[in-house]
Amino acid sequence: MNESRLISFLAIDLGASSGRAILGTIRNSKLELKEVNRFVNPIIDVNDRLYWDLFHLYSEILKSLKYIQHQGIEIESIGIDTWGVDFVSFGKDGEPLRMPYCYRDTHTFPAPKKFFDKILSKKETYLKTGIQIMNFNSLFQLFTQQEDNNPVYPITDKFLFMPDALSYLLTNKMVTEYTIASTSQLLNPFTRSFDEELLCTLNISKENFAPIVFPGTQIGTLSESAQKQTNLGAIPVIAVAGHDTASAVIATPAENGNFAYLSSGTWSLMGIESKEPVVNEETYSLNFTNEGGADGSIRLLKNICGMWLIEQCRKEWAKEKDISYDDIVLEATQSEPFKCFINPDAPCFTSPESMIDEIQNYCRQTRQFVPQSVGEIARCIYESLAFRYKQVLENLKGLAGFPIETLHIIGGGSQNNMLNRFTANAIGITVIAGPSEATAIGNILLQAKAFGLAADKNDMREMVRNSVNLVRFEPQDTNLWNKHYNKYSDVSNKL
């Protein structure tokens, strides 16, 4: 590391419910973080279609940059990461044709079956892309637009994924960052380029996408318009790992390669790092995904419905009384264990009108105890998540070419010590929790690497270990958890 001077970077980290601007400063081989802006990222419902507000997000990024300028803070660069799969359609004049659809929009629910019946079989689609079949993948969003004769579809010149679209608004330069594109189910994981046969079935081509670049590439500098609005100079905008999970995984504080990670947030993403894609009959049957890693590796992982369950329940509970996540954990701690379980990935939990009602209905239909109180429902969710993690980890152990000795839990969910403890007990190996800000840290460190301040991911991970406090959880009561896992396995397969 070059430590001759203090160096700062700005990470724009956008999640599916909120966004943050995080200032990262490198000092004595340690990274110091400061949140300079936090803002909501609302899903906008217009006539039963769900959208993201692109210009709201852009205005909040500008607001963050104005704060930097007002405080007299010097930054070397800016990097943007977001959730995966969603994209913006741009016309030939470079203008967005409409606001981007949200991946939770219900119009894509029937798309996979229609695509497999009409275009390409499920198995062929998977073997081409190595991506987990999920209705909201970019492939099925585009297919839905084509099937619906969406008027914007045939006049779209460029599709830009969310971080690339926002970087374009800042720089007036278009790129397709590799890790975010890898979530789309449009890339060949071996060639790391768009699959032309798949694009042809959608009546589009590679020319409908900007050139693919890899993490660490400079996209451009702030445009004259952005400079004028922020009173900043021509600050570089770096293509970090545009997919938030890819940025988070590069910040996993692992000391060696014998680990699995769990990026815990609205979604839980559990996986391993692989040198090459793992696309075969087994990964197809298990519906595992091969996404691009920030360092060129493959993130072999499974998407699991995560804190979405608790987040949606909390919204309902909050209508009656103010309740924090700490309050929810406390009530769960005080509730009787192992009373009932759900499959967190059951389709009924994707976008229900009432998450509480769906959980209760699930338990009722599987002839279990029906939870009523906050503590009972939360305990059901947390124990079920821990058992789902065990289920997926067992599959990963069979796919990994190395022993998995540790599970690193990163992201916001790593602060939930109750769930961390449950997870260690369920999986029977050491859990190391932290950092909670893994995505922003990975974003910042990839910018630092672009400026020659880190040689590789080992350098970056050493800096993470030097910079954050990690919490270790050793498994306890494993026989008891194994006993109840059998009941979870039984009820999780019923609906």
Count of helix runs (H) and strand runs (E) in the chain: 18, 21
Round to whole Å and give the CA distance between 118 and 425.
Answer: 45
Alpha helix positions (H), 400-456 = 417-427, 438-450
Round to whole Å and give the CA distance between 441 and 447.
Answer: 10
3-state percent helix, strand, coil for the chain, nearest multiple of 5: 40, 20, 35
SS3 at position 46: strand
Nearest C-alpha neighbor of 65 from the set 52, 56, 74: 74
Nearest C-alpha neighbor of 368 from the set 351, 343, 334: 343
> Tokens at residue 310, please?
């608790």
**Cα-only R_g, the chain:** 22
| Cβ count near 5 (within 10 Å) | 7
Which of the residues 13, 81, 195, 244 is marked catalytic? 244
Dihedrals phi, psi of 341, to nearest 5 degrees = -140, 155
Whether the link from the prior residue into 163 is cis, omega within 30° of 0, is no
Query: Strand pairing partners for 243?
Result: 82
Contact indicator for 489, 391 with CB cutoff of 8 Å:
yes
Round to whole Å and give the CA distance between 15 and 385.
Answer: 21
Contact indicator for 461, 295 with CB cutoff of 8 Å:
no
Contact indicator for 334, 463 with CB cutoff of 8 Å:
no
Cα separation values, 383 from 184, 390, 425, 480, 485, Å: 31, 11, 10, 13, 10
Question: Tokens 């009941």 — which residue?
Answer: 487
> Tokens at residue 313, please?
């329940």
Round to whole Å and give the CA distance between 43 and 273.
Answer: 32
Is 105 a residue of the active site? no
Q: Which residues are catalytic?
A: 244
